[in-house]
Amino acid sequence: MTYYGLHALQHRGQEATGIVTSDFDFTRRRPRFLTHKGVGLVADVFKDANILKDQLRGRSAIGHNRYSTTGASENKLNIQPFVVNYRGGNLALSHNGNLTNFKTLRERLEGEGTIFQSTSDSEIILHLTARSRKENQIQQIKEALETVEGAYSLVILTDTSLIAARDPHGFRPLALGRLGDAFVVASETCAFAPIGADFEREILPGEMLVISAKGGSASGGDEAEIRSEQIAPSNPKLDIFEFVYFARPDSELLGKSVDAVRKNYGIQLAKEHSLKADVVIPVPDTAIPSAIGFARASGIPFEIGIIKNRYIHRTFITPDQHVRERGVKAKLTPLPYIIAGKRVIIVDDSIVRGTNSRQIVKMVFDAGASEVHFLVASPPVKYPDFYGIDTPQQEKLLAATKSLEEMRKFLGATSLHFLSYEGLIQATEIPENQLCTSCFTGVYPIDIGERAKEVRKVDF
C-alpha cells in the first residue's frame, strides 16, 4: 500500500525514497521496525519485489519521497523516514516542509551535547521527542511540535500508533483516507485512488491525529481507531504554489480540484489579455488545463503542439555546457505541422529562472512560428520560498531583477503576459487570507528569522 501511495506522490520528491514498517516480533515479544531506503525513484528503489513482500512486513507503515530543501542531497543519512530507538520505544518520522527555527534549536541541542546524524531540519523533532520528560510518546511528540516553528506535514510511526500532524498554518497539504477498517494519510488525495482508499477529509492546520489498533496493543486486532486533538489554534495559509505548480492535477485541495483551478487560471488569463493568434499550445504537462481554459475562453484552437518525452527523469544525465540546449531538446519537441506559419500562444504555469522558457520560445520560432506570445498562468515569482519548495536565490529569479519588457526581450517572445495577482486569487476561489502567497508578494506569514537577510523588496 505504502509503495503504491509513494508512487502516486513521486512528483513531490524524486531524489530518494524509503519505507518503514512496524512489525511485531512474536519470537522476542516486542515491536520492531523494518526499513528500506535508497537514492532514486520509488520504482527503482523498490524494484526487487521481495523487499515489499518479505522484508517490509508489518501492520502499519510510513514512507517518504525526498525533495531536498535543507540538508545535502548526496548525504544518505538524510533519506527519510528517519528511524530511531530511544527510551520510549521505536520512532519513525516523515516530514514535508521546512522548520524556520531549525538553526536556533539545533544550536541549543548541540550545546547540550546532542549528536546529530543528518543535516536535515527534520531530525530535530526526534531529539525533542526523546528529550521530553512527558510520560508517553504521544505527549512527547506533542511537546516537540510545540517547540518547532515553520511548515510541517508529518507522519510518525510509534510502536503502537500512526500519528499525523500539520503545522498551525497548514502550508503543505495532508489528507486522511479510509480503506475498509483502516486509515491512510497522504500528502495529496491523488494517492488514495490507486490503493482503493476513499478521501475522508484534510488534516486541519494545528491538528494531530493518533491512529491505533482498537484496544491499543501493538500485536492486536485489525480494526483501527482514531483520535484527534487540536494542538495549536488554526491559522490556515496553504501555499498557493501547490495550485500553481506543485500538486498533481487529480488532487483536491481545500475542496477544489487542482485541475479545475488551473483551468480557471487559463480562463482568467483570457479575460485579462485579449490576443490575436492562430493556435494555443501548452508547455506540457502542468500548463495543459490552463491552455485548455484559455483556448475555450478565447476561442483560439487548442493543440498539443509540443511533445514531451515520457522517459525524462532525474537519472537523465545533464548534458555538458557546450550542448546546453540539448536538455530542453531531449525533453520537448515541437510539431511543425501545427506551428509553421502560425501565430502561436504558448501557455506555461510559471516562470522561475526563465532559462527553459527562453529555449522553448526559440524552439517554437525554429519550427516556423510567425509570432510567439508567451502567457504565464501565474504572476511573476519575485521572492524565494522558505516553507518547503526549493526555489533558487532571489537574484536568480527572472522577475526579481527584470521588468516585464526586459523579461520579454530575454525570452525573445513577441509578447509576454502574466496572470495578475488579483486574477490569481479570484480564480483560485479561496479567500486570500487563507493562502500563503509569499513567492508573489514577499509577505511571509511566519518570521523567517535570519534568512530575512536573503530577501529584498522588488519594486517593479
- Using CB under 8 A, which residues numbered 219 to 248 contact its own copies? 248
Residue 326: its H or E element: helix 326-331
Minimum CB–partner distance for residue 265 and its own copies (Å): 15
The Cα–Cα gap between 226 and 70 comes to: 32
Chain mean position to CA 4: 17
Minimum CB–partner distance for residue 260 and its own copies (Å): 5
Which residue, 403, 395, 315, 411, is CA-closest to 363? Answer: 411
* Residue 195 neighbours by CB under 8 Å, 6+ apart: 1, 4, 5, 179, 184
Q: By CB under 8 A, name the one of 198, 222, 307, 447 that touches its own copies.
A: 307
The residue among 158 and 438 lying less far from its own copies, judged by its C-beta, is 158
The residue among 269 and 338 lying less far from its own copies, judged by its C-beta, is 338
The residue among 115 and 443 lying less far from its own copies, judged by its C-beta, is 115
The Cα–Cα gap between 190 and 63 comes to: 16
The Cα–Cα gap between 187 and 201 comes to: 12
* Residue 232 neighbours by CB under 8 Å, 6+ apart: 145, 146, 167, 168, 206
The residue among 15 and 406 lying less far from its own copies, judged by its C-beta, is 15
Chain mean position to CA 123: 19
The Cα–Cα gap between 80 and 16 comes to: 8
User: Per CB under 8 A, which of residues 244..283 are in contact with its own copies?
Assistant: 248-250, 257, 259-260
Q: By CB under 8 A, name the one of 136, 217, 230, 309 that touches its own copies.
A: 309
User: Per CB under 8 A, which of residues 166..225 are in contact with its own copies?
Assistant: 190, 193-196
Q: Compose the 63-92 pattern: x for residues touching its own copies by CB under 8 A, - for all others.
A: ---------------------xxxx-----
The residue among 49 and 443 lying less far from its own copies, judged by its C-beta, is 49
Pick the stretch among 237-245, 267-275, 289-297, 427-435 that binds its own copies (CB under 8 A). 289-297
The residue among 323 and 452 lying less far from its own copies, judged by its C-beta, is 323
The Cα–Cα gap between 131 and 207 comes to: 22
Tell me the CA distances in angstroms from 400 to 223, 441, 446, one per residue in order: 53, 11, 21
Minimum CB–partner distance for residue 115 and its own copies (Å): 5
Residue 144: its H or E element: helix 137-147
* Residue 50 neighbours by CB under 8 Å, 6+ apart: none
Minimum CB–partner distance for residue 433 and its own copies (Å): 25
Pick the stretch among 126-134, 180-188, 427-435, 450-458 that binds its own copies (CB under 8 A). 126-134
Size of the site for its own copies (CB under 8 A): 71
* Residue 431 neighbours by CB under 8 Å, 6+ apart: none
The Cα–Cα gap between 76 and 94 comes to: 15
Minimum CB–partner distance for residue 390 and its own copies (Å): 19
The residue among 83 and 208 lying less far from its own copies, judged by its C-beta, is 83
Q: By CB under 8 A, name the one of 315, 393, 403, 433 that touches its own copies.
A: 315
Tell me the CA distances in angstroms from 391 to 25, 326, 353, 387, 419, one per residue in order: 44, 23, 9, 10, 20
User: Per CB under 8 A, which of residues 359..418 are in contact with its own copies?
Assistant: none
The residue among 204 and 335 lying less far from its own copies, judged by its C-beta, is 335
User: Per CB under 8 A, which of residues 95..114 are in contact with its own copies?
Assistant: 110-114
392 near 352, Cβ under 8 Å? yes
Minimum CB–partner distance for residue 46 and its own copies (Å): 7
The Cα–Cα gap between 156 and 34 comes to: 14
Q: By CB under 8 A, name the one of 29, 49, 74, 274 that touches its own copies.
A: 49
Minimum CB–partner distance for residue 284 and its own copies (Å): 10
Pick the stretch among 147-155, 237-245, 329-337, 447-455 that binds its own copies (CB under 8 A). 329-337
The residue among 328 and 448 lying less far from its own copies, judged by its C-beta, is 328
